[in-house]
Amino acid sequence: MRDENCLFCKIIAGEIPSSVVFENEKVFAFKDINPQAPVHIIIVPKDHIACADEINSVNSTSVAACFEAVPEIAKKMGLDNGYRVINNCGADGGQTVMHLHFHLIGGEKLSEKIV
């Protein structure tokens, strides 16, 4: 399902351009517009799920599909030495786009920080 007001739904539909790195039936992945590391990819389920707090037994196959895509995307982006996968949820989590997404970050030795 799509949310007409959602930025990432518009990106998935190609209505807003993005630098696409991976796509299959359930998953879309593109370069972050404001990268926090040499490689910074946004991985989203094509189904509009607002945030991690809305994951349930019906829509979790879309979430699983995102994680199943991680190794292929990481390999394609040359992240042979490791990477970090991050989800921000809600206001306290710092989520700014309310379409569930996973940040795939790497391409350098990442800082030791919150986790």
Answer for which of 33, 38, 75, 78 binds ligand 5GP (CB under 6 A) is: 33
Tell which phi-psi region holds residue 9, choosing left (phi > 0), alpha (psi between -120 and 50) or beta: alpha
- Name which of 5 and 57 has its Cβ closer to ligand 5GP: 5
Q: What element of type H or E holds 90?
A: helix 90-93
Q: What does 59 bind: Zn ion, ligand 5GP, none (CB cut-off 5 to 8 Å by kind)?
A: none
Q: Is 3 in the site for Zn ion (CB under 5 A)?
A: yes
Instruction: Assess whether 101 carries a catalytic annotation.
Output: yes
CA 49 – CA 36 distance, rounded (Å): 24
Q: What angle do CA 27, 77, 93 make, to 5 degrees?
A: 60
- Name which of 7 and 65 has its Cβ closer to ligand 5GP: 7
Answer for which of 95, 102, 104, 106 binds ligand 5GP (CB under 6 A) is: 95
Residue 85 burial by Cβ neighbours in a 10 Å radius (0-12, 13-18, 19+): middle
- Name which of 14 and 78 has its Cβ closer to Zn ion: 14
Q: Is 72 in the site for Zn ion (CB under 5 A)?
A: no
Q: Is 6 in the site for ligand 5GP (CB under 6 A)?
A: no
